[in-house]
Amino acid sequence: MKRIAILGATGSIGTSTLDVVARHPDRFRATALAAHRSVEALAALCERFRPELAVIADPDGEPELRARLVAAGVATRVLAGPDALVEAAAGDHADTVVAAIVGAAGLPSTLAAARAGKRLLLANKEAVVMAGPLLLAALAAGGGPLLPIDSEHNAIYQCLPNGSAGIAGAGVRRLLLTASGGPFRGWQAERLAAVTPDMACAHPNWRMGRKISVDSATLMNKGLEVIEAHVLFGAPADAIEVVVHRQSIVHSLVEYLDGSVLAQLGQPDMRTAIAYGLAWPERIEAGVKPLDLVQLARLDFEAADGATFRCLPLAYAALRAGGNAPAILNAANEEAVAAFLDGRVKFPDIPSIIEETLQKVSHRAVDALDALFDDDLTARRQAQRIIAARFS
């Protein structure tokens, strides 16, 4: 029986994970559930799954969560705050950790799970982007496996002969990350000024939160995935290519030196990758309907438009710069996207804010978590100053 801690239990990854867990009560048990501030949703999950531990990251929600669980007769232990997230990740109540907290807030708990040697199912790409060297060091110290459950990296993992070993010695020419192109695929740059937050969040294929939906629309999500592929699989920037595949059926491909190209195909449903990570090296039923290739009939691919969607080349530039540049990129993006969702900036302003922040914040090596958070805060403040000066 695998005992699973789900960090970000009320989000889309968390609820998909719990769906898979519920299908296999003989194999999995959700022993710890954590959420940011969704008290009502977390309490409902605790009432259903009866975990040993529930964590609300926002301490203001702790009294209400306790009261709801007492009223429901649920004996789950309740903790609150960032340190409690780390305990949920590293404690002995779980052997598997699903890291699905969005943004930099998920970094300490992800590193804690890695250091503790847990089976780490990673959906928080910011932890890899911001702190790749620190994550690799934590994994080496803990000795546990990392299985990416972001669909693209999970696909690459499946297509490599030994996914966790990366491309070294595997005869790989390049990794091909597929992108849906988002809701504005094929648009010219001048049309993007009229994009509203609701338009940007209407992803054509995937159901996601608002921040990641905007990242998909700008292609920043794909840019972060390029950086993530570099860290997870040891691929240089020149060996990672993004191709637009509007059907979202081919989740990524690996091209080998002999001309072979291996691809992982499936419905656009995160439960496939999650089930793979939970059961690996076995395969289990995930509740995903079979793929009907005859009905699908065709698969289309095209080049990504980095000239119109400038976040993608900005991510490549940050990868090549190395050090804390990816962390600066991520922080500036989070601030720019938040400003867009609040109506303070327009959609095309997002890459401009990121580019200027990358230029103005000093670059240095990533060697300690505290210094990295300092850089993250510096980048956020710089982005906020740019937003206030240019768009207020």
Does the annotation place 387 within a ligand binding site?
no
Please check if 169 is assigned to a binding site.
Answer: no
Same domain, 249 and 133: no
**190 assigned ligand-binding residue:** no
Residue 230, annotated as binding a ligand: no
10 belongs to an annotated ligand binding site? yes
* pLDDT greater than 90 at residue 210: no
Domain-terminating residue out of 320, 344, 378: 320
**DSSP, res 288:** P
135 and 178 share one domain: no
Residue with tokens 């979202």: 248
Which tens digit of pLDDT belongs to each residue from 312-366?
Answer: 999 999 999 999 999 999 999 999 999 999 999 999 999 999 999 999 999 999 9
Q: Which spans in 53-173 are helix H?
A: 62-71, 82-90, 107-115, 125-142, 151-159
Q: What's the pLDDT score for residue 165?
A: 80
Q: Cα–Cα distance between 29 and 177 in angstroms, integer? A: 33
Same domain, 12 and 98: yes
Residues 25-51 pLDDT 10s:
999 999 999 999 999 999 999 999 999
Same domain, 226 and 302: yes
Under the banding of pLDDT at 50, 70 and 90, the label for residue 182 is confident
Cα dihedral 220/226/229/230 (nearest 10): -130
CATH of residue 77: 3.40.50.720
| Number of domains present in the structure of the chain | 3
346 is in an annotated binding site: no
Known binder of ligand: residue 209? yes
Query: Residue 180 annotated as binding?
Result: yes
Residue range(s) defining the domain that contains residue 41: 2-144
Q: pTM of the full predicted structure?
A: 0.92
CB 262: neighbour CB atoms within 10 A? Answer: 16
Establish whether 150 is an annotated binding residue: yes
Query: At 13, which helix (H) or strand (E)?
Result: helix 12-23
Radius of gyration of the chain (CA): 20
Residues 109 and 252 placed together within one structural domain of the fold = no
Res 207: pLDDT: 60
Give the pLDDT confidence of 241-282 residue by residue, as tens digits.
999 999 999 999 999 999 999 999 999 999 999 999 999 999
Which of 112, 127, 144 terminates a domain? The answer is 144
11 is in an annotated binding site: yes
> Residue 125 annotated as binding?
yes
